[in-house]
Amino acid sequence: MTPESILIGLRAAAEPTRLRLIALCAEAELTVRELTQILGQSQPRVSRHLKVLCDAGLLDRAAEGTSAYFRVARNGEGAELAHLLTALLAGERHAGDGSLDFERLDAVKQARAAAAAAFFRANAAQWDKIRSLHVDEAEVERALTERLGAEPIGDLLDIGTGTGRILEILGSRAANGTGVDQSREMLAMARARLERAGLRNCAVRQGDMYQLPWPGRSFDTVVIHQVLHYAEHPAAAVAEAARVLRPGGRLAVVDFAPHNLGSLREDYAHRHLGFSDADLNRWCRQAGMAPLDVVHLAGKPLTVTLWLGRRPGAASKPASGTGRKAAPAPERRIPA
């Protein structure tokens, strides 16, 4: 950080409510409405404080429909100071206004978890029906983690994150993890899952898999798990995933091998009845990727395939564990 950026950050944080906001946004991604509820202050006042903190680079703001979520900055000049302040404020959970703030924050998290559980119950029958047609998810997840191996995951992007399961199983190995999805209901489930797992280095954003809101070379590992069969243009989705990979970065695609279950189109809005190895290899090469590995996991009757590719170039030796400095983190069209 430069002396000027330190002064800007300190001036922005030097106010009691703003310090409370920093402490809260270090614990969870929160909306203005939720922060207003926790702090017991008016929405205009809370919004003004949030704007000052965002302008100083201490908080990140991610738009999601008509709402926006705020969290402590993960990159940029203000991130280092934000995390230092967060560490200094750690004792506030048990003192003064901080104690009440965190009691109310816990209530917000419990409400989120209850809403996510209700959505899951409403859709569980559909998901269980599809799961019954292919190999157990635990085997798929094991194959994915084995293929990624001991190599550092670095900054992770999960395209079409859904319930956030991929972030949950890989997040502890990532420097930072980000999931994108178009469905706000799915994002709510993912946030509840990440909060339950204590993965503060992971966040989710609403986004379009054909127009990811990051510049090129932003991530070390990208995963597209059971998403492409919904995509109108799967080759374009693979190309966009490759665009945001750093040199040496890896792309993992998990989806179905070709099948003839046409009912999945009518009943579950699948656009494609699986993909061949030749399809994925061609799309990877068109996107400048080098195919690395293919694994087939046979089920009854659906076979799940895992394709792994790498963007040519020297890897940037990403961090292997939870960290602060990451790919830019602003905010599938991603099917639910």
Instruction: Categorize the per-residue pLDDT at 93 as very low, low, confident or very high, splitting at 50, 70 and 90.
Output: low
CB 238 within 8 A of CB 287: yes
pLDDT number for residue 329: 40
The verdict on residue 240 lying in a domain is yes
CATH of residue 53: 1.10.10.10
Q: Is 291 exposed, middle or buried (0-12, 13-18, 19+ CB in 10 A)?
A: middle
The answer as to whether 117 is a domain residue is no
Tell whether omega for the bond before 301 is within 30 degrees of 0, i.e. cis: yes
Structure tokens, 214: 């990051």
pLDDT of residue 331: 37
Same domain membership, residue 285 and residue 241: yes
Residue 334 is predicted with a pLDDT of: 34
Residues 67, 174, single domain; the answer is: no
At 226, the pLDDT band (50, 70, 90 cuts) reads very high
- Per-residue confidence (pLDDT) for residue 39, from 0 to 100: 95
Together in a domain, 90 and 140: no
pLDDT digits (tens, 9 = 90+) for 252-275: 999 999 999 998 888 888 999 999
Does the structure show a pLDDT above 60 at 333? no
Report pLDDT for 75.
82
Residue 325 inside a domain? The answer is no
Residue 14 sits in which domain range? Answer: 3-104
Please indicate, yes or no, whether residues 162 and 36 belong to a single structural domain of this protein: no
Both 139 and 28 in one domain: the answer is: no
Instruction: Kindly state whether residues 191 and 273 are assigned to the same domain.
Output: yes
Strand-strand pairing, 245-256 and 219-225: parallel
Q: Is residue 143 located within the same domain as residue 285?
A: yes
CA distances from 196 to 9, 69, 174, 311 (A): 31, 18, 17, 33
If asked whether residues 181 and 300 sit together in one domain, one would say: yes
Q: Percentage of the chain with pLDDT > 90?
A: 67
Mean pLDDT value across residues 171-192: 93
- The count of domains in the chain is 2
Q: Domain check: are 149 and 296 in the same one?
A: yes
Is 323 a member of any domain? Answer: no
Residue 163 has pLDDT above 70, yes or no: yes
Q: Residue 211 sits in a domain of what CATH number? A: 3.40.50.150
Q: Does residue 111 lie within any of the structural domains? A: no
pLDDT, tens digit, 9 for 90 and up, residues 14-69: 999 999 999 999 999 999 999 999 999 999 999 999 999 999 999 999 888 788 99
Q: For the chain, how far is it from start to end, CA to CA, in angstroms? A: 40
- Residue 336 pLDDT grade (very low, low, confident, very high; cuts 50, 70, 90): very low
Task: Determine the pLDDT at residue 313.
Answer: 87
Could you read off the pLDDT of 105-138 as tens digits, one per residue? 999 989 888 887 787 677 767 777 787 789 899 9
Cα distance between residue 272 and residue 46, in whole Å = 46
The whole-number average pLDDT for the span 209-226 is 96
The average confidence (pLDDT) of the chain is 88
